[in-house]
Amino acid sequence: MYLPHWPIPSTIINKEIDYEAVFERMSVILNKLGNPHKKLQNVIHISGTNGKGSSAAFLGEIFKQSGYLAHIYTSPHIHDCNERIILGNEKITNNYLYETLEEVRLISEVEKIALTFSEAFTISAFLAFSKVKSDVIIIECIMGGRIDPTNIIENKLATLITPISYDHEEYLSDNIERIALEKAMIIRPNTPLIVSSQCEQAKNIIKILADDQKIDSYYYGDDFDILLNEDSGKFEFAFGEYHLPNLPKPSLVGQHQYINYACVIALIKTLQDQYNITSNHIESAIKKTYWPGRLENVTDLLKKHCPNTDIFIDGAHNPSGAFALSKWITQTNNYDKNIAIIGFSKDKCKKEFLINLKDLDEIIAVRVEGEPYPEDPEIIKKIGQEINLNITARDDLFEALYCLKNQKKTRIIICGSLHLNRDVRKISKG
């Protein structure tokens, strides 16, 4: 099921939310449930703007390959809401998800507390995690950090901050230092921190907070790094005297994934006293990690619609994501044409995103059927024309693909909204 029976997302009912009171609302419900979040052990918390989900997936795969049971909480979901909660390396069942949500719903109604979708789902995840045995719990921030529902957890095993950039400015600010401050508030005393590649402003803020709490913090490029063989795709990892040579080409595509992988390996290195994880486990996870919608090759799914093209779908929806996507396109360009099909939720299309696609041969704006509030493709087209892009508008993804069905030696990249994944699967089954 795409959405659970409860709660209803606030965006659907246009409900005003006091986000600063998130922990007040959650604490009442959690207390009535016996405070399951305080029973969770070995929690690894991940914040940042881009790469959180990929990092969580890789981290979970390492533990799985090492024989450990991992609970994982991520967002958003693509096809069904069960994707958000992994229990012992397996997706939560419909029945168990229903049961845990019902427990939360009944208490919230008795207490007359209106939880947001994220708050209710997070509490349900914590409740499920507390009842099922695990060796490690991996939790991805939903959006921010400081007042993210997941940040109600105090005791953590380690924290990871992925690259920070502009996103959700309406909630997090349009100032990169302020965004970094929000994201970095997941750190805790006596808890090791791994920090991915950051712009200088974000890195400075993180350093101030980490130094203030006197925690062990490790930064990509300073404390650990990789050496990439561009021809083979293999790479080396170095963290002080710890060295992993000749690591395999990652299953996840794009050079930004090497940085995500490096940060996760560094995190694993800081936990070497708690877990028995070998280089073989890490190598196996590098080759097997799967995270849908991140430069995912969907050519076979859409072959009957565009038989002579290669088609990829990516979750890039903010400027830094578009930059990474553009870099990958340039580095892997052996096509006569590169065409992007893009769609967004309402008011999310930005010039800063589109400018990264300026070197593509053509851009087609579409309405995302899977989005609750899709942007009008004509609005996307107008924004693109203001920066002189070669951009047209089509009703939806199906029409865009139909117009491209006779292209040859062409690569099509679908991006702008993760919900386009649902549209791709719907078309492939049609």
- pLDDT, tens digit, 9 for 90 and up, residues 196-252: 999 999 999 999 999 999 999 999 999 999 999 988 999 999 999 999 999 999 999
Superfamily of domain 10-288 in CATH is Mur-like, catalytic domain (3.40.1190.10)
| CATH number for the domain whose boundaries are 296-428 | 3.90.190.20
Res 170: pLDDT: 47
What's the number of CA atoms in the CB half-sphere (13 Å) around residue 310? 14
- Euclidean distance between CA atoms 74 and 52, whole angstroms: 8
Instruction: Pick the closest to residue 306 from 396, 411, 392 (CA basis).
Output: 411
- Euclidean distance between CA atoms 70 and 414, whole angstroms: 31
Instruction: Pick the closest to residue 121 from 141, 148, 146, 100 (CA basis).
Output: 100
pLDDT-derived band at 349 (thresholds 50, 70, 90) equals confident
- Euclidean distance between CA atoms 294 and 286, whole angstroms: 15
Q: What is the sign of the dihedral through the CA atoms of 269, 324, 290 and 129?
A: positive
Domain edges within the chain = 10-288, 296-428
Res 254: pLDDT: 87
Cβ within 8 Å of residue 228, ≥6 positions away? 234, 235, 255, 258
Over residues 267-288, the mean pLDDT reads 97
Q: 85 has which bridge partners?
A: 73
- Euclidean distance between CA atoms 260 and 58, whole angstroms: 9
How confident is the prediction for the chain on average, in pLDDT? 92
Res 430: pLDDT: 64
Q: What is the sign of the dihedral through the CA atoms of 8, 12, 17 and 21?
A: positive
Cis bond upstream, residue 7 (ω within 30): yes
Res 168: pLDDT: 46
- pLDDT, tens digit, 9 for 90 and up, residues 352-367: 999 999 999 999 999 9
pLDDT-derived band at 19 (thresholds 50, 70, 90) equals confident
pLDDT-derived band at 14 (thresholds 50, 70, 90) equals low
Q: Is the pLDDT of residue 171 over 50?
A: no
- pTM score, two decimals? 0.91
